[in-house]
Structures are given as structure tokens and as C-alpha cells.
């Protein structure tokens, strides 16, 4: 479907909706939201809309206006959800339905978009039907053509069920699911499962598709098998689907999952017969039901798949009567330790699988058997925390932090302070090495800071204090200038203490005081160690699909800084940077951006070097092996001096001031917090 068409429709609707602020009698929050909207204060308007809608959740018009405001703020996914709520509250609102459909497609929900366009083709006014018809065709035709193409390719294959045809079956299944041809999708996913039974995500997919086809028993069996997968992520997603089937992934799930019956385990094993975790659990379930015969069968099956499974071997020997004399008559102390070990094992297993009630029950039993086991205390803390009982969780973390095991004590202490709302020390490092063709030099700017939590910060969290070390330097060092030797950077290590405010509406204030120490002993324009005072405010905000987002699309970023630096003749510097462009997803989870830069620098004292404007294209790339806050960038910039009349060499020699310059900058940004 044409992205341009979607954006045009959204823009027209936004313009119509925002030309005049509405009023909602009796609701000051919504009225204030419309006032903020008229002043283009979108962040405040969004917060006020949401606050007002908590009191008026069925106000369809307010949901719709919030959606348009979110669009203006670049929050397309949230705008889509608000249009959906408005559409459900007012079934006759064709505009909300159409906006929802376009945004669903833009935010990578093509199935929902296609379904909505299909419905609007028949149940809407003439103008809406025409738009929906065209949009539906733009989505449906490529899917239909792709399905036909892959079906023809499989028809020409010598052996359509050979492993070499897996990719063709996979592509055909995905296209069929996108087109709502669920029988064809299920058929192709089943073939994929037979070709590659080792792929655990196929069980998740089959569970989802069978559920939509109302094949509920088969769906439950597939999800049950996936929930006992060795892949932890697959198991987690399967448990979520079993607990709240059919619910959106981003919606909160409050339902409780019941424990499966034996016949459900049997059905799941028919789909995944080599799932050892599933077989062992069924065997223990039979033991709990005193059905030793079927338990023996399952343990024998486990050993036939893995003859070296020690747990299954011991259980089977015990069931068949192969017991040692020591095992036949255990001491009371050994019995207690064994009971505690079994309860602890069951509790840890239940916690891992997401059965919080069972985990708490077994772990409490293990704690009664062995009150000194600090690992049980720690896991009880996590179990209560996941069960939303933070008060109880905090008491168990408090006990576990006195453990003799340093790893358990550290984990429990961190969890206790987090639940208690205590400020914790953090270390942050950022670095920006950069090459500039204009100066033929490599510059490096970096800082490492460690926060210092104070006792009263638990009450006052508006300001944090930290120790700081900055490095600002370059490789060339001394360079010739019109006034003699000069330097392109501060060439210093700066040690100091600082304070930073809590970020409020993307705005942060900070200040630092310390000592700047030259790492170049021969530098003659300043002392070896001088006092350094600096501070300022920072604003940064991004809109759209930023670098690292899960979906490609357009973006815009802006940052603004006002910085006081004592060593620059006690000057205030102002920086404003703007970047706009498009984010792309390239090969193997690589994210890239193509963008255009507009950079402004100014100061209070009108120094020639501190007043410039730069424009030009650039690119960023984030490779799969990089941490989230790491990227490479390259920019081709043309700069203009805004105070050329103050250019000092020309004041001395009577020459014409510099009109501008070109610069190629290649940089690497790295940041992390621990």
C-alpha cells in the first residue's frame, strides 16, 4: 500500500481535527488538554488527555483527538490504539476506522489493516468505500500474487516434501496467514514442522493459527509442548498465549493458568515426542496420582531418548524396586533434607515456568524444612515480586541479603533497594571519538561518572550527585595559527563533582566543579592545573522510527544545550542540532539511517569561532554485535561563520573574513550505564 497515501490521509485528518480546540463541559483535564493542543504543547496535551480519559473512558471523541495528538508527536503505534478505542466506542465513525486501518499497516500490523479495509468496503459511505477498496487491493494483490508464485514453484519441485523446499513452504505459509487464508497457512506450517521439528517457534505459530481455526484442542497441545521447550523465550511466549489466548501482546494479562490434565500432556507429546521436559513432568504427575504403571512408561521413554538421564534412571530404578540398602532405610535427617530438596526443586521449576502460586507453596515448604537456605529466601522474594506482592517480596529479599553467599547477597540487596525506592549507585560512561577532515585530526570527548546516593535522596529524588572524570583532547596537539601556537581542543583531564536534576519533559539541568589537568606539559596558553566550572541545561527528543526501532520509517531528532564553561572566558555556549531522515532495516538485524543535518552554535560573547551554522547529509549505522547505545556515523557538512566580521586574523591584516568551510566527520558513539 502507498505510504504516501496513508500519510496524506492522516495529515488531512489531523489538520481538520486541530484547527479549533474543543471543550468538554465539566472536565478540566480535557479542557486543559485542548488548550495545550492549541498552543502546540503536545506532551502536556497527551498527558492531560490520558488523565481525563481515566475519568471518561467511554468518551470516543476524546480518544480520537488524543490519537491525532499522538500522531503529531510521532507516536504512531499509540495513535493506532486510540483510533481503535474510538472506533469501538462509536461504530459509525468511519474516519476513526479508516485512520486505524492505515496506521495498522504503517505500524506493521498488515493482517488487522487488511481486515478493516475489507470490512469498510461493504459497511461505509461511498467515499470511504472507494478509499478502502483501493487500500485493500494494494495490500491484497501482492499477497495473492506471492501465494500463486510459491504454489507454482512447489508444483514444479521434484519432491515438494524434501527439506530443500522448506523455505518455499515457509514463505507460502506466511503469505497465506497475512491474507487470512488460515487453512492454507496451517497446512504449510504443518509441513514446515515435519521438515524441521527442531524449530520450537513453529509450535507457537501452529498454536496461534489452529486457535483462529477453532481447532482448540490441537492449539492447546501445541502451546503446551512449546511451554516446555528448552528455548526459554519460546516457553515464555507459549505460557502467555495459554494464559490469555487471543489477547494483544502489549495488553496486560491478569488471568491464572490452570495446570494441564494428563491427557493434555499426552496430546502435546504426540506433537513433540522427544520433549524430555514434557515427558518427565507427565511422569511426575502420574506419580502424584499414584499411577506407577504409566509413570514407568514415561520414564522408560525418557531413557530411550536419552539413556544418560540420571534423574529418570533413579526414579525408574526406585519404581521397579532396584533400591540400595541405604536408600531403602534413610535416616530422619536425610529424609528431611530430601524433602526440602524436592520442594525446592519443584518451587524453582514452578517459578521458571511461571506458576507463581505453586512456586510460593513449594518454596515455603522448602524454607520450613531448611530455614537457613538463603537461595530459597531469594527465590521466594522473586516469586512474591512476580505475584505483585512487593511488601512480602521485600521481607524475603531483606532476609536473603544476609546470606554468606556473596552472589545471593548482592542480588538480594539490589532487589531490596529497588523495591524500597532507594537510590542506587550507577556508573555511566560515554565516549565520542571523531575524525574531522577540516582539521585533519582525531578528537575524543568522553566522560565517566559515578553517582553518590545520599541518605535523604530517598525523600528528595529531584537531584542526584556524582563524581566525574572528563577527557577532551585531540591527536595533533599544538598547531600554528595567526597568533602563534594554538590548540584545537582543551587537551585536558577534568576531575570534578557534579549534580544533575531529574529529567522533566525531556529537559535536564546539571553543574560541575572541579580541576582541569593538562596532559600536555608543554602547553603554554594556560596553567598545568586550573579550576574548571561548567553547567547548563539539555533538551533532547525524537519522533518517529529512531535508530534501533523495530520498524523502519521516517524520524526527526532535536537536541539543544545551553552550557556555561569558565575556561572559555566565562562564556555561555548554545548548541542546537536537528536531524531528519529515514531509518532502514538492512541485513542481519542491522539498522541504518540516511539523514540531513542542521547544526547551530552560538555564544553570549560573540566569539567568531563560537558562532556557526552547518548543514549537510549524513548516515548512521548500528550493527548486530553493537550494544543498544552504540553506532557509527558519517556526515558531510558545509559550515558558515555567522560572525565573520569578528574574524581576528582579518582584523589584523585587513583580509576578507572566511565565508565558510567543508568538513567530513566520521564518529563513533559509545555509551552504557551499569
Burial class (CB in 10 A: 0-12, 13-18, 19+), 186: buried
State the pLDDT at residue 1. 42
What is the grid cell recorded at 368?
A: 520450613
User: Domains plus CATH for the chain?
Assistant: 3-108 (1.25.40.10), 274-322 (no CATH), 337-420 (1.25.40.10), 427-673 (2.40.128)
State the pLDDT at residue 249. 44
Cβ contacts of 632 within 8 Å, gap of 6 or more: 620, 621, 622, 623, 666, 667, 668
State the pLDDT at residue 470. 93
Q: How far apart are CA 342 and CA 367, in angstroms?
A: 12
Residue 491 half-sphere exposure, CB side, CA atoms within 13 Å?
20
Residue 415 pLDDT > 60, yes or no?
yes
State the pLDDT at residue 564. 93
Residue 190 pLDDT > 50, yes or no?
yes
Tell me what the pLDDT averaged over the chain comes to. Answer: 81
Nearest 5°: CA angle at 398, between 396 and 400?
70
Q: What would the pLDDT profile of 424-444 be if each residue is shown by its tens digit? A: 677 889 899 999 998 889 999
Classify strands 478-481 and 484-487 as parallel, antiparallel or unpaired: antiparallel
The SS3 assignment for 373 reads coil
Classify strands 507-518 and 492-501 as parallel, antiparallel or unpaired: antiparallel
Q: What would the pLDDT profile of 266-321 be if each residue is shown by its tens digit? A: 998 998 888 888 888 888 888 888 888 888 888 888 888 888 778 788 888 888 77
Mean pLDDT confidence for 466-475: 91
Q: What would the pLDDT profile of 10-45 be if each residue is shown by its tens digit? A: 444 444 444 444 555 556 878 888 888 888 888 888
Q: What would the pLDDT profile of 360-381 be if each residue is shown by its tens digit? A: 888 888 888 888 888 899 999 8
Mean pLDDT confidence for 520-544: 84
Res. 417 pLDDT band, cuts 50 70 90: confident
**What are the DSSP calls for 207-223, one per residue?**
HHHHHHTT-HHHHHHHH
Cβ contacts of 654 within 8 Å, gap of 6 or more: none
Q: Is the overall model pTM greater than 0.85, yes or no? A: no
The SS3 assignment for 257 reads coil
Res. 328 pLDDT band, cuts 50 70 90: very low
Is-contact 590 630, C-beta < 8 A? no
Mean pLDDT confidence for 75-103: 88
Q: How far apart are CA 660 and CA 643, in angstroms?
A: 11
What is the grid cell recorded at 145?
A: 500474487
What is the grid cell recorded at 230?
A: 528448552
Q: What would the pLDDT profile of 478-502 be if each residue is shown by its tens digit? A: 776 544 556 778 888 999 999 998 8
Cβ atoms < 10 Å from Cβ of 528? 11
CA distances from 155 to 144, 148, 149, 174, 442 (A): 17, 10, 10, 18, 60
The SS3 assignment for 627 reads coil
Q: What would the pLDDT profile of 550-602 be if each residue is shown by its tens digit? A: 788 999 999 999 999 988 888 899 999 999 999 998 777 788 999 999 999 99
**What are the DSSP calls for 268-295, one per residue?**
HHHH-TT-HHHHHHHHHHHHHTT-HHHH
Q: How far apart are CA 648 and CA 607, in angstroms?
A: 10
State the pLDDT at residue 322. 63
Q: What would the pLDDT profile of 599-643 be if each residue is shown by its tens digit? A: 999 999 887 778 889 999 999 998 888 887 788 999 999 998 887
Range of lowest pLDDT (89-98, 320-329, 630-639): 320-329
Res. 409 pLDDT band, cuts 50 70 90: confident
Q: What would the pLDDT profile of 42-84 be if each residue is shown by its tens digit? A: 888 888 888 888 888 888 888 988 989 888 888 888 989 989 9
Name the percent of the chain lying above pLDDT 70.
85
CA distances from 609 to 34, 200, 441, 597, 602 (A): 44, 60, 17, 19, 9
Amino acid at each position: 500500500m502507498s505510504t504516501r497515501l496513508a500519510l496524506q490521509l492522516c495529515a488531512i485528518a489531523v489538520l481538520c481535527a486541530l484547527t479549533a480546540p474543543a471543550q468538554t463541559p465539566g472536565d478540566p483535564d480535557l479542557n486543559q488538554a485542548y488548550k495545550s493542543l492549541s498552543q502546540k504543547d503536545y506532551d502536556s496535551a497527551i498527558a492531560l488527555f490520558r488523565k481525563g480519559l481515566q475519568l471518561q473512558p467511554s468518551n470516543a471523541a476524546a480518544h480520537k483527538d488524543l490519537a491525532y495528538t499522538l500522531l503529531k508527536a510521532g507516536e504512531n503505534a499509540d495513535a493506532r490504539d486510540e483510533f481503535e478505542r474510538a472506533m469501538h466506542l462509536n461504530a459509525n465513525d468511519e474516519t476513526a476506522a479508516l485512520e486505524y486501518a492505515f496506521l495498522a499497516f504503517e505500524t506493521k500490523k498488515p493482517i488487522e489493516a487488511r481486515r478493516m479495509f475489507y470490512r469498510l468496503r461493504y459497511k461505509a459511505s461511498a467515499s470511504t468505500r472507494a478509499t478502502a477498496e483501493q487500500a485493500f487491493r494494494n495490500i491484497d494483490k501482492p499477497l495473492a500474487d506471492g501465494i500463486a508464485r510459491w504454489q507454482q514453484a512447489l508444483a514444479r519441485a521434484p519432491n515438494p516434501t524434501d527439506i530443500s523446499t522448506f523455505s518455499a513452504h515457509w514463505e507460502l505459509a506466511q503469505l497465506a496467514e497475512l491474507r487470512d487464508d488460515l487453512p492454507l497457512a496451517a497446512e504449510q506450517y504443518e509441513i514446515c514442522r515435519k521438515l524441521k521439528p527442531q524449530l520450537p517457534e513453529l509450535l507457537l505459530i501452529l498454536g496461534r493459527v489452529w486457535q483462529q481455526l477453532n481447532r482448540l484442542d490441537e492449539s492447546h497441545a501445541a502451546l503446551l509442548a512449546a511451554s516446555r521447550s528448552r528455548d526459554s523465550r519460546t516457553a515464555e511466549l507459549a505460557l502467555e498465549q495459554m494464559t490469555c489466548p487471543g489477547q494483544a501482546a502489549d495488553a496486560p494479562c491478569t488471568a491464572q493458568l490452570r495446570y494441564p490434565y494428563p491427557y493434555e500432556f499426552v496430546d502435546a507429546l504426540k506433537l513433540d515426542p522427544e520433549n524430555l521436559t514434557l515427558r518427565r513432568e507427565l511422569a511426575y504427575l502420574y506419580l502424584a496420582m499414584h499411577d506407577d504403571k504409566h509413570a514407568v512408561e514415561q520414564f522408560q521413554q525418557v531413557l530411550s531418548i536419552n539413556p544418560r538421564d540420571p534423574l529418570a534412571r533413579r526414579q525408574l530404578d526406585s519404581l521397579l524396586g532396584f533400591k540400595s540398602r541405604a536408600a531403602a532405610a534413610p535416616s530422619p535427617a536425610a529424609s528431611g533434607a530430601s524433602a526440602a530438596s524436592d520442594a525446592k526443586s519443584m518451587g524453582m521449576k514452578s517459578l521458571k515456568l511461571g506458576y507463581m502460586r505453586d512456586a510460593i507453596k513449594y518454596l515455603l515448604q522448602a524454607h520450613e524444612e531448611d530455614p537457613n537456605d538463603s537461595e530459597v529466601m531469594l527465590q521466594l522474594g522473586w516469586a512474591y515480586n512476580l505475584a505483585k506482592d512487593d511488601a512480602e517480596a521485600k521481607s524475603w529479599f531483606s532476609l536473603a541479603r544476609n546470606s554468606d553467599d556473596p552472589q545471593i547477597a548482592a542480588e538480594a540487596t539490589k532487589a531490596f533497594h529497588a523495591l524500597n525506592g532507594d537510590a542506587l549507585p550507577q556508573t555511566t560512561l560515554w565516549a565520542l571519538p571523531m575524525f574531522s577532515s577540516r582539521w585533519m585530526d582525531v578528537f575524543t570527548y568522553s566522560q565517566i561518572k559515578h553517582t553518590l546516593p545520599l541518605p535523604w535522596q530517598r525523600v528528595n529524588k529531584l537531584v542526584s550527585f556524582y563524581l566525574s572524570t572528563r577527557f577532551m583532547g585531540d591527536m595533533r596537539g599544538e598547531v600554528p595559527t595567526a597568533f602563534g601556537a594554538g590548540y584545537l581542543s582543551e587537551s585536558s583531564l577534568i576531575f570534578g563533582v557534579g549534580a544533575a536534576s531529574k529529567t522533566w519533559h525531556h529537559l535536564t539541568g546539571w553543574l560541575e566543579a572541579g580541576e582541569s589537568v593538562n596532559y600536555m606539559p608543554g602547553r603554554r596558553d594556560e596553567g598545568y592545573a586550573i579550576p574548571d566550572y561548567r553547567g547548563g541545561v539539555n533538551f533532547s527528543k525524537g519522533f518517529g522510527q529512531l535508530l534501533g526501532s523495530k520498524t523502519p520509517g521516517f524520524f526527526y531528532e532535536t537536541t539543544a544545550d545551553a552550557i556555561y564553561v569558565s575556561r572559555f572566558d566565562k562564556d555561555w555556549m548554545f548548541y542546537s542540532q536537528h536531524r531528519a531522515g529515514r531509518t532502514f532495516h538492512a541485513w542481519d538485524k542491522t539498522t541504518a539511517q540516511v539523514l540531513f543535518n542542521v547544526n547551530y552554535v552560538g555564544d553570549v560573547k560573540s566569539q567568531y569561532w563560537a558562532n556557526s551554522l552547518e548543514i549537510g547529509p549524513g548516515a548512521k549505522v548500528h550493527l548486530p554485535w553493537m550494544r543498544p547505545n552504540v553506532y557509527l556515523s558519517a556526515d558531510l557538512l558545509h559550515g558558515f561563520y555567522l560572525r565573520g566580521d569578528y574574524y581576528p586574523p582579518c582584523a589584523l591584516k585587513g583580509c576578507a573574513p572566511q565565508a565558510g568551510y567543508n568538513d567530513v566527520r566520521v564518529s563513533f558513539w559509545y555509551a552504557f550505564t551499569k
